[in-house]
Amino acid sequence: MMENKIHQILKKLIVKTGIGEIEEGYADDLNFNIGEYTIYSCGYYQQLMVNDEEGNDHELDKDFGAVKMLCNEIEKREKEFDGLIVENGLNKVNKIFEKPFEINFEN
């Protein structure tokens, strides 16, 4: 499931970058800021939600197109981060996750 893949990537990125947070508890909740979005992912219930720049929540449980776009963007930025971290240091490289991008939501 792509939602689980996103959850696992985000968990690694939170540890590597210090961006976002892993909430304590059984639900394995994550919050991660990327571009103008905040991603909420629940590992236990396999929920994925994005809060956009206008403060609107988008549940992505049935929005395969948006999930795929989000997964591709996260993977792309993770690869860019991994390639640049050695030479540039954490503060410079974390800006990769601040660049805006678009997701087309069905709802």
pLDDT digits (tens, 9 = 90+) for 55-107: 999 999 889 999 999 999 999 999 999 988 878 877 788 888 999 999 989 86
Q: Which range marks the domain in which residue 77 is found?
A: 2-98
Number of compact structural domains in the chain? 1
CA dist., res. 40 & res. 79, Å (int): 21
* Residue 104 within any structural domain of the chain: no
* Residue 79 within any structural domain of the chain: yes
Provide DSSP, 41-96. EETTTTEEEEE-TTS-EEE-TT-HHHHHHHHHHHHHHHHHHHHHHHHH-HHHHGGG
* Residue 106 within any structural domain of the chain: no
* Residue 107 within any structural domain of the chain: no
CA dist., res. 42 & res. 19, Å (int): 17
* Residue 68 within any structural domain of the chain: yes
* Residue 105 within any structural domain of the chain: no
pLDDT digits (tens, 9 = 90+) for 14-37: 999 999 999 988 899 999 999 999
Give the type of residue at 14.
Answer: I
